[in-house]
C-alpha cells in the first residue's frame, strides 16, 4: 500500500514539475517563431513600394529580397549566399500578405513591461513585451543588451505606436542564450537605423525603413512602404548564412 502511495506521489510530482517548466517556457514565448512569418521564412528584406540599395559600396544580403505589389528595386551591387530578387513573384506576393499578418500579430500582443524611458541606451532587458507611453523607442548611445537568462527560446518584443530610431555607432548585444531570431520590433510608422550601428531582430515597420551607411543587421527588414539601404550594409537573416 505504501509503495502504491509513493508511486502516486512520484507521478503527481512529475506532473507538477512538467507544468512548471511548461508554464515557464510559455511565459517567455509570445508568438510562434517557427510559423509567424509564413512564406517569408527565408526572406531578409520585404517591402511593398520600393527597395533601394544606394551608394557605390557593395551591400551584402543573406536571404531573399521581395517586393510586391510595387516593382521598384534599384541598386545592383548586392552580394550574398542563398539570395534571390523576387519582384512581384508568387513568393513576393505571398510574403507581402504574411508580413502584414505578422505585423498585426505583434501589434496585438499585450504589453508586459511599460518602460518610463523610451531610450534603451545602456539598458539590459529580460524577456518580455516592451512598450512606452510615448509610443517611441530610441537607442541614442552605447549598447542595448538582451538577456535570455539561460532560455534560448526566450523572446523580446518591442511595440511602437510611431517610430524607432537608433543613433550612430550604437550596438545591440545578446547574452545568456538570447537569439537574434527571437527579437521582434513592431514599428507603427518608420524606423531609422543610424550610421555604423548594429541592429538585431526582426524589424517590421508599417511605413518605411532607412538603414544608414555601414550599418549592419542580423535579422529581417520588412516595411509596408519602402526599405532604403544607404551604403555598405550587411543584412544577414538569422541562421541562414
- DSSP H helical ranges for the chain: 2-27, 90-107
Is residue 130 a contact partner of residue 146, using CB atoms and an 8 Å limit?
Answer: no
Cα 64 to chain centroid, rounded: 16
d(CA 99, CA 90): 14
Domain assignment present for residue 21? The answer is no
> In the prediction, which pLDDT does 13 show?
42
> In the prediction, which pLDDT does 231 show?
85
**Residue 58 DSSP symbol:** P
Whether residue 8 has pLDDT greater than 50: no
The residue written with cell numbers 528584406 in the block is: 45
Range of the domain at 122: 31-236
Whether residue 1 has pLDDT greater than 80: no
Domain assignment present for residue 139? The answer is yes
Mean of per-residue pLDDT scores for the chain: 88
Whether residue 2 has pLDDT greater than 70: no
pLDDT band at 22 (very low <50, low <70, confident <90, very high): very low
Question: How confident is the model over 99-123, as pLDDT tens digits?
Answer: 999 999 999 999 999 999 999 999 9
Domain assignment present for residue 6? The answer is no
Question: How confident is the model over 220-235, as pLDDT tens digits?
Answer: 999 999 999 998 888 9
d(CA 215, CA 104): 27
Domain assignment present for residue 114? The answer is yes
> In the prediction, which pLDDT does 28 show?
79
Task: State the DSSP string of 159-172.
Answer: EESS-EEE-TT-EE
**Residue 119 DSSP symbol:** B
> In the prediction, which pLDDT does 163 show?
98
Closest CA to 215 of 46, 17, 107, 54: 54
Whether residue 94 has pLDDT greater than 70: yes
Cα-trace Rg, the chain: 20
Whether residue 6 has pLDDT greater than 60: no
Domain assignment present for residue 116? The answer is yes
Whether residue 17 has pLDDT greater than 60: no
Give 82 or 54, the one with higher predicted confidence. Answer: 54
How many domains, in total, are found in the chain? 1
Question: How confident is the model over 37-61, as pLDDT tens digits?
Answer: 999 999 999 999 999 988 767 788 8
Whether residue 185 has pLDDT greater than 60: yes
Domain assignment present for residue 90? The answer is yes
Half-sphere exposure of 98 (CA within 13 A, CB side): 18
Domain assignment present for residue 8? The answer is no
> In the prediction, which pLDDT does 78 show?
59
Domain assignment present for residue 216? The answer is yes
Give 57 or 177, the one with higher predicted confidence. Answer: 177
pLDDT band at 154 (very low <50, low <70, confident <90, very high): very high
Amino acid at each position: 500500500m505504501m509503495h502504491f502511495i509513493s508511486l502516486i506521489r512520484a507521478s503527481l510530482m512529475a506532473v507538477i514539475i512538467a507544468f512548471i517548466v511548461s508554464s515557464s517556457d510559455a511565459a517567455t514565448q509570445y508568438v510562434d517563431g517557427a510559423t509567424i512569418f509564413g512564406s517569408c521564412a527565408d526572406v531578409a528584406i520585404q517591402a511593398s513600394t520600393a527597395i533601394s540599395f544606394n551608394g557605390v559600396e557593395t551591400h551584402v544580403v543573406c536571404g531573399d529580397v521581395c517586393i510586391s505589389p510595387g516593382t521598384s528595386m534599384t541598386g545592383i551591387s548586392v552580394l550574398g549566399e542563398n539570395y534571390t530578387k523576387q519582384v512581384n513573384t508568387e513568393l513576393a506576393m505571398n510574403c507581402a500578405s504574411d508580413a502584414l499578418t505578422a505585423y498585426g500579430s505583434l501589434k496585438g500582443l499585450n504589453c508586459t513591461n511599460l518602460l518610463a524611458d523610451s531610450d534603451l541606451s545602456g539598458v539590459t532587458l529580460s524577456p518580455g513585451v516592451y512598450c512606452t507611453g510615448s509610443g517611441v523607442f530610441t537607442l541614442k548611445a552605447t549598447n542595448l543588451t538582451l538577456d535570455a537568462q539561460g532560455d534560448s527560446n526566450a523572446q523580446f518584443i518591442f511595440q511602437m505606436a510611431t517610430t524607432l530610431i537608433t543613433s550612430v555607432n550604437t550596438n545591440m548585444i545578446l547574452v545568456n542564450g538570447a537569439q537574434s531570431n527571437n527579437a521582434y520590433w513592431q514599428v507603427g510608422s518608420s524606423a531609422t537605423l543610424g550610421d555604423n550601428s548594429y541592429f538585431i531582430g526582426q524589424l517590421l515597420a508599417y511605413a518605411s525603413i532607412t538603414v544608414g551607411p555601414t550599418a549592419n543587421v542580423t535579422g529581417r527588414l520588412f516595411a509596408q512602404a519602402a526599405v532604403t539601404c544607404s551604403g555598405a550594409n550587411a543584412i544577414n537573416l538569422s541562421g541562414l548564412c
